[in-house]
Amino acid sequence: MRIGLACPYTWDVPGGVQVHVRDLAESLLAAGHEVSVITPADDSDALPGYAVDAGRALPVPYNGSVSRVLMGPVSAARVRRWVRENAFDVLHVHEPTAPSIGLLACMLADGPIVATFHTANPRSKILTAAQGALQPSLEKLRARIAVSEAARRTIVEHLGTSAVLIPNGVSVAAFTGARPLPGYEPPRHTVCFLGRIDEPRKGLDVLLAALPELARRVPDVRLLVAGPGDVAAVRARLDPALRGRVDLIGLVANEDKARVFASGDVYCAPNTGQESFGIVLLEAMASGTPVLASDLDAFRRVLGDGHAGRLFGVGEPAQLAAGLAELLLDDAARAALAERGRAVVADYDWPVITEAIVGLYRMVSEDAGPVSLASSGADP
């Protein structure tokens, strides 16, 4: 099939949606489809061969973080040309509620259009207010995909329609068999953490608060903390007696994430909120690293109520310390969790997810003509 993917956020800025679009594009290509991605980019030379530059995006604060959006006449012209020249069998737009390429493509095109909604935002006043303005574009969608139960609920509540749940995918192969980072070869007792270190919702503070008690129970325990943020500031806050146990390695390249997981005996996700899916948990499971995560709704779902990974009370350092100590000192329990984690993550492997998405593509494109430009792209 000829498939067009519209990505709303700047390609070269790290983000979940961009990674999703990239992985989906590559997985579709691997399955033998023709794929073109249109996306904002800072450096169009760095784009892969299958991607087209839609222009530069402007940073706009949205939903607690900075989103970079794009909706100008230049990008509209580029999207229009991209749609016209490619005559896709299916146009798959991402995050069509964000004021960017996804929505633009939706406004300008006509035909078999599918959209994926990534955001879960239970109380979005913006979304509710914008529903009327978005409806003319959203009613073109032949199918809507939500990547998580929370995202699906957001669609039902704010947009008054339903969605098919197809979760985020994980490239299981990319996470299998990675070598530990230097200095982390077994035997060891290491807990790893991955996420922004100065973002309270990622919960590094909960993990650090659990460290004193954990160190009492597991004397040689070490913490491997990877993720962007102010390393010096976090180090300064650490108790000097514990500083030697904590390695803050900063931002790691995407391809090194697997090595971070391989360096830990347990992956800890102490997030305190705002997680709608928990893809990082799946990546840890794909690496074969047992997971201990806070008991958030999204994590509970991914971990099958604690079957494929353990849970602890959100923001409870004492529970976390106990849980970590128990796991670090029990090789058999860790092996069993790793085993169950691998079985769960197989359902999220990109080839499996891609097959489900292509099934949906076929359903909406059967007997339908190719995607074309809408007879009148602009709304009055």
Partner 1 sequence: MTFSGRAGRIDHAFITLPGMTLVVVVVAVVVAVATYLTWLARRLDRLGVRVDAARAGLVTQLVARADAAAALAADRGLAPLAAVAGQSAAGHPPLRAGAPLDTGVEETENQLSRALRAPAVASSGQGAPELLHAVDSAAARVALARQLHNDAVRDLRALRGRRLVRMLRLGGRRPLPAYFEIDDALPARAETPGPAAPAHPADGAGPGSGRPGTGDAAADLDDRPGTLPETAC
Residues near partner 1 (CB under 8 A)? 110, 112, 136, 139-140, 142-144, 149, 152, 156, 160-166, 347, 352, 355-356, 358-360, 362-364, 366-368, 374-376, 379-380
Instruction: List, in order, residues 6 or more apart from 49 with CB less than 8 Å away.
Output: none
Least distance between partner 1 and beta carbon 29 (Å): 18
Closer by beta carbon to partner 1, 163 or else 279: 163
Closer by beta carbon to partner 1, 174 or else 356: 356
Least distance between partner 1 and beta carbon 143 (Å): 5
Least distance between partner 1 and beta carbon 360 (Å): 7
Closer by beta carbon to partner 1, 255 or else 367: 367
The strand pair at 189-194 and 164-165 is best described as unpaired
Instruction: Identify whether the C-beta of residue 247 lies closer than 8 Å to the C-beta of residue 224.
Output: yes
Q: Helical H runs in 218-366?
A: 231-237, 257-262, 279-287, 297-302, 317-328, 331-346, 350-365
Q: Please give the full DSSP string across 170-200, using - where no structure is assigned.
A: B-HHHHTTPPPPTT-PSS-EEEEEES-TT-G
Closer by beta carbon to partner 1, 68 or else 118: 118
Closest CA to 329 of 285, 242, 266: 266
Least distance between partner 1 and beta carbon 356 (Å): 5
Closer by beta carbon to partner 1, 37 or else 114: 114
Least distance between partner 1 and beta carbon 34 (Å): 19
Closer by beta carbon to partner 1, 22 or else 144: 144
Least distance between partner 1 and beta carbon 166 (Å): 5
